[in-house]
Amino acid sequence: MKTISKYARNIFLAVCVCVTGTSCEDFFDVKPYDFVAPETFYTNEKECTMALAGVYYTLVTEEVYGNFYSCMLSNVDDLSYYQRQSGSLTSQVYGNDHNPGNQNVWGVWEALYTGINNANMLLDNVDKADMDDAVKTRMKGEARFLRAYYHFLLVQAWYEVPLRKESFKDVNNSSMEATPNKEALDWIVQEMEACVDMVDDSEYDKSPSYVKKNTVMGILARVYLWRAGYPNNGGTADYQKAAEWAKKVKDSGKHQLNPDMEQFWKNLAQDKYDEVYNESIWEAEFFGNREADGQGNYTDGRIGNVIGNIQKSTANPGNGYSYGFYAPTLILWDLYEAGDNRRDLYIAPYQIKANGEKSNWTATQIVQRACGKFRREWETSSNKQKSYTPENYPILRYADVLLMLAEAENEANQGPTALAYECINAVRSRAGLTTPLSGLSYEAFQQELRDERGRELCFESLRKYDLVRWGIYVDAIHNKLGAATQDSRWAPGNQYQGVKDYVSRTQERHQFMPIPTKELDVNGKLQQNIYWK
């Protein structure tokens, strides 16, 4: 079974340095394995580390956080639209014009199940390895968590999917039915909770690229929030669990909000680890510059290129290029209050022209702007590749944990608690908003929290799933975004027909992805999910 590709041995030097203490040189001296036999592999710590790197590698494929999942499947919603002419959105997920044969839908599905199988292979064989028991426990915890996390991404995006808890033993006998939604989520939280005390709980200031205790607990809060809402409708008990896990992260004292918001995003672009605030709890770590660096060691990340500020560096390709596909809607723009320092940081107020000069947008050019969180001008390489970047992508950061805790407290208690106010006001204060929220009803706080998540977490692959779990996805896009496109500030010519077509196509079924045709062709027991039948 193919478990470690040539890229996988190169990918997670951070895993090897931070987890095992292995030097970069030692790691790259290891013989690459394209195919491994379980009978002769997994015999020692080095081989198991290589296998674990293969499990992590799924995160930094182009199909997952490099582009397809993070951007194409998950970053078009009511606050972010794909800024291209209508024809460019035809048959695409970001235009809600896709079908089960869409190649991006298949690419994400295949990559996530590859990661799951790699985890299963390691878990099936790690016990026979000759290594320290504590290291073995930590590796098993990381692999089990990643396996559960990949299943969560599948359930969140596709509704009901097969749970694959064992590696493929016989490809010809691998057909499986979809696991019921509730049963799958129950298993996911049980697996994650079992991993809390198995993974590392010490090296928080070295790298947010590998799984640590607060990573598991923070993602557990996210899973419980998902389980509490639509379509599972777990309600109060799940909100209480979400609050419990988010509060454990807060109470650990290991993370703070970086008061310099711009520096936080520069760190992601420059692969710097914040050893003071540690706001980034977990991120997909991309590195290398493809052929531009002449080294051949790279990942397939397009963060900063497909999503990020517009940078038309054709005069000097070494400056890096950015299409700026993902742009703000008027709904996002109007969420920001006067004095909110996030607006012009998260929605770039300028573009970089072909000659390298900055060109400021005018006051009327709102929806022409692009996502400002990822900017190629912040990358440190002096010779950037046009389309692929080393910019990291946030999976979980402390601001999100605080907002999850505030939401869960409000929902579980049917009204905002002192802790809920503390958390949401911390995020707002960091953004420059000096008047704290207070005295709100349950409904008013709920809406403020939803707006605050939009202001803080836009362009981070979270908004669509928030809208789904809140049960307002179709209303937010078809109705509210539809109304926003009628605003005179959304002038015709700004890719206007494309976003109008996206809005008009949006239906209930677009809350979830269709099971890919390729999977249905080979898995005789699997049927299309109920949203796409």
CA angle 128, 184, 38 (to 5 degrees): 20
pLDDT in tens, the chain (533 residues): 223 333 333 334 333 333 333 333 333 333 334 456 777 799 999 999 999 999 999 999 999 999 999 999 999 999 999 998 888 899 999 999 999 999 999 999 999 999 999 999 999 999 999 999 999 999 999 999 999 999 999 999 999 999 999 987 766 668 999 999 999 999 999 999 999 999 999 988 788 999 999 999 999 999 999 999 999 999 999 999 999 999 999 999 999 999 999 999 999 999 999 999 999 999 999 988 776 655 667 889 999 999 999 999 888 888 899 999 999 999 999 999 999 999 999 999 999 999 999 999 999 999 999 999 999 999 998 889 999 999 999 999 999 999 999 999 999 999 999 999 999 999 999 999 999 999 999 999 999 999 999 999 999 999 999 999 999 999 999 999 999 999 999 987 767 889 999 999 999 999 999 999 999 999 999 999 999 99
Best CA proximity match to 326, nearest among 98, 510, 91, 79: 79
Rounded to 10 degrees, what is the CA torsion of 319, 291, 209, 117? 140
Domain that holds residue 380: 291-391
Same domain, 114 and 251: no
Same domain, 5 and 104: yes
Question: Residue 406 falls within a domain, yes or no?
Answer: yes
Same domain, 10 and 145: yes
Give the pLDDT confidence score for residue 292 in this predicted structure: 61
Question: Residue 365 falls within a domain, yes or no?
Answer: yes
Same domain, 446 and 434: yes
Give the pLDDT confidence score for residue 383 in this predicted structure: 86
Same domain, 273 and 326: no
Q: How far apart are CA 14 and CA 134, in angstroms?
A: 19
Contacts of 36-43 with CB under 8 Å at 24 or more apart are 36/1, 36/3, 36/4, 38/1, 38/121, 38/124, 38/125, 41/125, 42/122, 42/125, 42/126, 42/128, 42/129, 43/128, 43/129, 43/130
Q: What is the CATH number of the domain that holds 121?
A: 1.25.40.890
Question: Residue 491 falls within a domain, yes or no?
Answer: no
* Torsion sign, CA atoms 101, 107, 112, 118: positive
Same domain, 386 and 410: no
Rounded to 10 degrees, what is the CA torsion of 112, 118, 120, 125? -170
Give the chain's domain count.
3
Same domain, 40 and 176: yes
Please, is 382 exposed, middle or buried when counting C-beta atoms within 10 Å of its C-beta (0-12, 13-18, 19+)? exposed
Give the pLDDT confidence score for residue 171 in this predicted structure: 61
Give the pLDDT confidence score for residue 23 in this predicted structure: 33
Same domain, 49 and 172: yes
Q: Point out the domain boundary residue: 365, 391, 417.
A: 391
Judged by DSSP in three states, 358 sits in: strand
Same domain, 378 and 465: no
Same domain, 107 and 174: yes
Same domain, 307 and 357: yes
Give the pLDDT confidence score for residue 172 in this predicted structure: 62
Q: Point out the domain boundary residue: 421, 454, 471.
A: 471
Same domain, 154 and 235: no
Q: Point out the domain boundary residue: 373, 391, 409.
A: 391
Which residues, including other chains, have CB under 8 Å from residue 95's CB and lie 6 or more apart? 76, 82, 86, 88, 89, 498, 501, 502, 505
